[in-house]
Chains A and B, each alone.
Chain A
């Protein structure tokens, strides 16, 4: 991380999708991403992540607010976004029928590189991501993960100080994932590249992100380091109980637990203070309840729990005041 400061996308957007004017995909979002940081956007489907990214990359004009990237006003000069950032979208349809090698080279050339430079960078990036053996194959014929990796290769050809990656590792095997994060880390270490990452994958988010913003219904409901966010629910542990057939509601302690549990079939999920959790475990592992218990787990909070706990109106009762 380099200094304080700045790649600085502060977005205040409001966007009514055409035809459904009541929808605000991003609603007064304000974020500041520091230079050289791997910053994550986490949120459920429809939270406004993609809209936010489209506003950031100059693809969508925000109705209100401003976006500033590395000192450039993107709302006023949206065409500058393309010269500051590389964007990996979720769609590969523009590259699908090209070979991996040509996709990377063409993208490099369209990013303003000379032919020889584009080819040199293409070779280096393909080698780095382990794509050289399949360089001659069309993207269409590759598996989902390989195709994603090839698109990432295209995004990395032609140096950019900001990478905007929308779910880059979807469908990838662990080897490919590692190659992705190694490539991202190298760029950050060597060139101070800033990375903005959109993700669903909370486990990955926990390991690679410096900071994360949780989006819900177009608003930022939390923004901190993964550890900082976890501290917000640190007082709680998660207890999961799986009953054999049904919950033994004849046991009064179990009946009392029911109103605090999130039920999903035979599975109950509870968020409890540690001493309560101990009591619950003692209850269900002894006596009448134990006969009905199939399995149980006790876990410290993960980003997943934060994500759920902060998840907004749909999960009322889970939000810790």
Chain B
């Protein structure tokens, strides 16, 4: 019942002798963008089945942290970093933690074989999954940001900047998460790395940096999510310095490109041993 035109069939004509044997025609390779779209769509559909409770947890956790910090921090610049930090934490939880778990498990269970035996560019699998996980974070991030602004009495006028922060911080963190998941020799290690990364994003991102010792500030500067947090925090000011915001976002984008490239390399390595 499956219908395929005869002309695409390699070996459609009976091969007769050993000498007449020619190499079979190769099937078409999947091109980057269509296969990326297919992976993205498939990954997004997984959300319906498996991810919604986790997305709820991610949002609830961030909202809870914002509430908790309300008891410690007054409004002002500290409040800005709390709201920005807890919003970006949703991205860290989903893109870094969950994606690293997903790839860790996929690799350990042999699920990567499925992709590795399809003519799909490695970048399409990694980018499709990363993009889907970054998309999962959109509702939670927006909810947390809106809630945090209401809680601390911050302006929501520049909330739109999240539309740049989410994909860029998402790219950086999901690239990192995917690389952790694909490089970790065991799935438990992948989970551990993801959790650690998320905890780092939580502690270093949410707490105001001014009171931190030098070494912690250095660690904070090394974490890509920090730049997403700062970019967003700066936009609460009456007259944001957009150039600095752009620089912060640029750092996210740069880290994103590098980490996704590393993740793609890690995928290649994990898929074919």
Q: List 12 A-B contacts (CB under 8 A).
A: A5-B21, A57-B117, A70-B24, A71-B24, A83-B26, A91-B110, A93-B111, A94-B114, A98-B49, A120-B3, A127-B1, A161-B9
Q: B15 is contacted by which of A6, A58, A72 (Cβ under 8 Å)?
A: A6
**How large, as a class, is the contact surface on chain B?**
35 or more
With A71-B22, A109-B30, A112-B30 as given contacts, are A191 and B12 in contact (CB-CB < 8 Å)?
Answer: yes
Find chain A residues with CB under 8 A from B124 CB: 110
Find chain A residues with CB under 8 A from B116 CB: 58-59, 82
Interface string of A81-99 (1 = CB under 8 A from B): 1111111011111110111
With A72-B26, A102-B42, A124-B2 as given contacts, are A5 and B117 in contact (CB-CB < 8 Å)?
Answer: no
Find chain B residues with CB under 8 A from A110 CB: 30, 35, 38-39, 115, 118-120, 124
9 smallest A-B Cβ distances: which pairs? A71-B23, A70-B24, A93-B111, A112-B28, A94-B114, A94-B111, A109-B38, A2-B14, A87-B117
Find chain B residues with CB under 8 A from A127 CB: 1
Residues from 183 to 207 in B contacting A, C-beta threshold 8 Å: none
Whether A159 lies near B9 (C-beta < 8 A) is: yes
Whether A59 lies near B273 (C-beta < 8 A) is: yes
Whether B8 lies near A85 (C-beta < 8 A) is: no
- Identify 13 new A-B residue pairs, CB closer than 8 A, beyond the known A6-B18, A82-B116, A87-B117: A3-B16, A57-B113, A58-B116, A70-B24, A83-B27, A91-B110, A93-B106, A93-B109, A95-B114, A102-B41, A112-B27, A112-B119, A121-B2
Q: B113 is contacted by which of A6, A35, A91, A120 (Cβ under 8 Å)?
A: A91
Complex formed: what's the CA distance from A99 to B42 in Å?
9
Whether B27 lies near A191 (C-beta < 8 A) is: no
Looking at the assembled complex, report how far the CB atom of A128 sits from the nearest CB atom of chain B, in whole angstroms: 5
Whether B14 lies near A84 (C-beta < 8 A) is: no
With A2-B11, A106-B41 as given contacts, are A156 and B2 in contact (CB-CB < 8 Å)?
Answer: yes
A274 interfacial by beta-carbon distance below 8 Å: no
Complex formed: what's the CA distance from A113 to B2 in Å?
14
Find chain A residues with CB under 8 A from B114 CB: 89, 91, 94-95, 107
With A61-B272, A71-B21, A140-B49 as given contacts, are A125 and B118 in contact (CB-CB < 8 Å)?
Answer: no
